[in-house]
Chain A
């Protein structure tokens, strides 16, 4: 781990637009390969369509680039989900959400169109239920219930104590189940 003054200096250089070194490029590529899907999905579940989620994911890794020097492997996932949640909030505030359907995944669309259609339908149903939750409950539900982050990682991403995460998750599960039950009954009647 770098001393604090070197860490601060590295941040300043990175923030000033200094080109990444070879090691930094490798580190960023590794980070991206490992975590870009979860970041993208968190953005999607936060209410962004696929195109906006693509753009937002770039913002998330841009934040990570500035903090490469003090990112540790065991906290990478929790760290990246933090700016993902914040970017989603910011984009929801500043852009009108587009209701256009997302772009289908390239490799899968050719092979199993029926499965993907069903998957798209299920994701749409899920998003419609998540949309009815408050931001606080939806964020913790997505991070822990869907993406499987630990309580500690979720607390780090959301910037709240672990106890708060636990209580929010309990309320989120209750609310989600009630909303899903109501949606299922409405669809069957």
Chain B
């Protein structure tokens, strides 16, 4: 740390500040300058604009140029049309009729109950952003439709056995391996008997008995044939 005598230091600095160029020398110098009599040496002065300010000017100019370029780019950019989402036609799925099916068996009526499957309907509005769901055919859905067909055939089998057979053919076409195929064949036997096609009904009944290893349809078939001697 400094321990120089402050008074001495101040005296020296004041002496330096008080020093003056003589008036004669000063006037002589100015006259020489105005007369162009001073031979220059190679010395340049500092920049008139301080370095800090000059840097600010340069940075400002660069920023302006950048903004101008961004603005120009925005003006000249070709707008590409946004992709139009495909128009999806509304898909309407009609829910099946009431899923309550009553199947008459030999011991009485057996009530088969199946829940009504929920079917997702496709989005009806065209520009929907979400992908349109296709209706998914589930097992429950198929079972419901099988039941519907068999219920229709059952209502027809007594009074309109031909129509019942046609309905059963539709069932066979739509569900060749349906879960209710056995029930459909029983109704077919009954319809054929009602039409008087006993031989045809007997062949089908024999085939059913062979296939029914568990003996589920035997009693019912026998009762049907008893009703149509």
Contacts and interface: CB of A to CB of B under 8 A. Distances in A.
A87 B41 contact: yes
Contact of B29 (A54, A119, A129, A147): A54
A52 to B, nearest CB: 11
B5 to A, nearest CB: 6
Contacts of B25: 50, 54, 103
Given A28-B33, A63-B44, A44 B13 contact: no
A181 interface: yes
B43 A90 contact: yes
B2 interface: yes
A113 interface: no
A66 B9 CA distance: 38
Nearest to B50: A156
A184 B25 CA distance: 34
B3 A181 contact: yes
Interface in B1-17: 2-5, 8-9, 11-17
B48 to A, nearest CB: 4
Interface in A148-181: 152, 155-157, 159, 161-162, 173-174, 176-178, 180-181
Contacts, number: 161
Contact of B4 (A63, A86, A156, A184): A184
Interface string B26-53: 1011101110101011111110111110
B4 A178 contact: yes
B213 interface: no
Nearest to A158: B46
Interface of B: 2-5, 8-9, 11-26, 28-30, 32-34, 36, 38, 40-46, 48-52
Interface of A: 17, 19-20, 25, 28-29, 32, 36-37, 40-41, 44-45, 50, 53-54, 57-59, 61-67, 70-72, 75, 78-80, 82-83, 86-87, 90, 103-108, 118-119, 122-123, 125-126, 129, 145-147, 152, 155-157, 159, 161-162, 173-174, 176-178, 180-181, 184
